[in-house]
Structure 1
Amino acid sequence: MERGGRKEKSDLLAPAIGLAYGKSMNLSVKQLRYFVALAETGGFVRAAERVNVSQPALSQQIKDMEAELGVRVVDRLPRGVRLTRSGREVLERARRVLAELEDLERAARLARGLSGRLRLGVIPTVAPYLLPGALTRLRARDLTLDIRVREAQTEILLDDLETGRIDAVVAALPLPGPGLAAETLIEDRFVLAGTQARLARWAEGREALRPAMVAPDQLLLLDEGHCLADQALEVCGLRGRGRVDLGASSLATLSGLVAEGFGLTLLPEIALRAETAAAPGLALRRFAAPEPARALALVRRAGGDDGWAPPLAALLRDAGAELLRSARAVCP
């Protein structure tokens, strides 16, 4: 379809899926997105809700897609749909095509630098502390910047980064996998947290406090899957979780537990200002040098047109530095 002398984006797709069937295809991006939604939700009603169209409209697009391909991609069942063998192959290719299109759109959107729409992923042990200051700085820099933030664990965010659903991730190093470019933001040191009485008993007779001295049955950690939990075990030289481990879902929950006397935990410096304000019974103690720490970085896919990354990293680094200054005032 021609509009204003230019072809619509949905009509510019190379017939990547159709190549498998030996003929040219005139599939649209809309049809591919509708089909992926149908495959992932398992039903026409739920798929229509996801892509915000009527169920008959989505159903017709799937029929048109099948007619164009010359194969049936789903079996219509009384309670949903089931992918056919051809449908599974089409789904794999459709996802690849949509990921490439997302990548193309991202590159065009950010080619001018830090402008347009920015989709940023942040891990949960960083997001509530770094984002308020960072977003304030981003807004002050450009009020027109459309910022979308996703908070999730590292593994999920890296998958989103690989498939083009987000542009960059703020996470702790090191990160697995090739094809990533990382720009270090700050060194976030770990501090021992508990009640004043428990910390005094634990530190009694010790001149230099080191992470390896923390008893496994005293250490409370985040749920498995949080990289901070693995880092805490590593810096304390522990291979597993202690008997008192409650597997908290957030640093706020951990801080509340240890403030009430349920053991000890390690808190990153960027969380100290917020968590000591929220849990007045929380006491802190620094380790002897070299203090254990994690390196936070801005991570993106390597090899792209990333003129937007340096100014974003500078803003995030500035917001992080402010948190570190306040942490060292709370716990010198």
Structure 2
Amino acid sequence: MRPTLRQLEYIVTVSRLGRFSQAAEVLNVSQPSLSAQIATVEQELGIRIFERSRGGVQTTAKGEDFIERAQKILVDVQDLRHAMVSDAPVGGRLRLGVLPSIGPYLLPQVIKEVHHARPGLRIVVREENTRDLEHGLKSGRFDLIISTPEDHPNTVQERLFNEPLWIATAVDDPLARDLQGVGAEDLQNRIFLTLDQSHRLSRIVFALAAECGGVVSDEYEGTTLDSIVLMAASGIGVAVLPDLYARRQGIYRDEVRLRPLKVTNANRDIAMLTRSTEGPLPGQRVLTQSLRSVARGMGMSILGD
């Protein structure tokens, strides 16, 4: 029966990565074979899924519909396979998407608490940027996501906590001596370093730079928080960092100095989000409770209490 599951996987992977060459590498197939399989699907269905160009691929309107349906099929097959081979006690399974600036610093303790409260619940976690989390929730690839609520309209939102922001500077930067925190006046004419624009943090940093009279670097966009910390260590600018990263990892870096930001709106809300068409999911309540409990223990301002 065509298209096959493998062909669906090819198409979804190309859509996610934006290039045939990268998709072929990830899927461990030759690029000509990948292209031929996708062309076969397009020919048999009489549609155009991708428009190719030197800059990558663009998905057509018909292709967007195809990919959304293909993702749901692949997720259902994955769930079926898991249900048949799993020896875990019945307790539910949640596919959770989370921002990479949150996941590794918050979730280990949360998962531990959830496992203690509900041992049979399995949580499958994937870290992705804001844009991909939105797409994953809409397509059904995620059951729920942990992200910044303003980026996900038309969802059911359960606000969890408010997270302050910090800056990282080179050790010889004058701001490194300000132990009480850094104000807007201290950042005038400064260069701000941030993640690429697929992350909400980038938009927050652009707003902060405008408020402080600074400018966001147009020469470097990081893909990880570690990368922008290293750039700050070189002295080319100040890196803006979320509190969870700053206090769980950043303060242990010898090559930079971290200082809290004392600027209006130097924070972000974090929420649990689900599709508006779904009711409460099995295990969602215990996960939300654990997220708030662990965040409270880390000194966050809890929302929704």
Question: Counterpart in 2 of 1:99?
Answer: 72
Q: Deviations over 1:28-57 (max 9, x none)?
A: xx96645534655799xx99x97xxxxxxx
Shift of 1:184: 0.8
User: SS in structure 1 opposite 2:119?
Assistant: coil
Instruction: Give the share of equivalent positions with the same residue, in percent.
Output: 21
Asked if the contact 2:98/2:145 (under 8 Å) is kept, the reply is yes
Q: Which residue identity does 1:36 align to in structure 2?
A: L
**Residue pairs, 1:167-182, within 5 angstroms:** 167-178=143-154, 180-182=155-157
Shift of 1:266: 1.6
Residue 43 of structure 2 is aligned to residue 84 of structure 1: yes
Question: Counterpart in 1 of 2:130?
Answer: 154
**TM-score of the two chains, using structure 1 as the length reference:** 0.63
Question: Counterpart in 2 of 1:231?
Answer: 204
Shift of 1:156: 0.9
Bigger drift between 79-88 and 166-175 goes to 79-88
Q: Looking at CA atoms only, which structure, 1 or 2, has the larger radius of gyration?
A: 1
Name the count of aligned residue pairs: 260
Q: Which residue identity does 2:203 align to in structure 1?
A: D
Distance 1:31-1:184 versus aligned 2 partners, 3 A rule:
same
CA distance in 2, matches of 1:130, 1:285: 21
Q: Deviations over 1:124-152 (max 9, x none)?
A: 21122112222222222233322211111
CA distance in 1, matches of 2:238, 2:269: 22
CA distance in 1, matches of 2:35, 2:291: 51
Question: Counterpart in 2 of 1:137?
Answer: 113
Residue 8 of structure 2 is aligned to residue 36 of structure 1: yes
CA distance in 1, matches of 2:193, 2:255: 16
Question: Counterpart in 2 of 1:261?
Answer: 235
Distance 1:77-1:165 versus aligned 2 partners, 3 A rule:
closer
Task: For structure 2, list consecutive stretches of 5 or more residues without a partner in the other structure.
Answer: 15-19, 28-32, 49-61, 84-89, 301-305
Task: For structure 1, list consecutive stretches of 5 or more residues without a partner in the other structure.
Answer: 1-26, 51-75, 326-332
Bigger drift between 222-231 and 253-262 goes to 253-262
Residue 167 of structure 2 is aligned to residue 192 of structure 1: yes
Asked if the contact 1:119/1:168 (under 8 Å) is kept, the reply is yes
* Higher relative contact order structure (alpha carbons within 8 Å, sequence separation ≥ 6): 2
Distance 1:102-1:240 versus aligned 2 partners, 3 A rule:
farther
CA distance in 2, matches of 1:225, 1:78: 27
CA distance in 1, matches of 2:35, 2:66: 27
CA distance in 1, matches of 2:101, 2:298: 14
Asked if the contact 1:170/1:299 (under 8 Å) is kept, the reply is yes
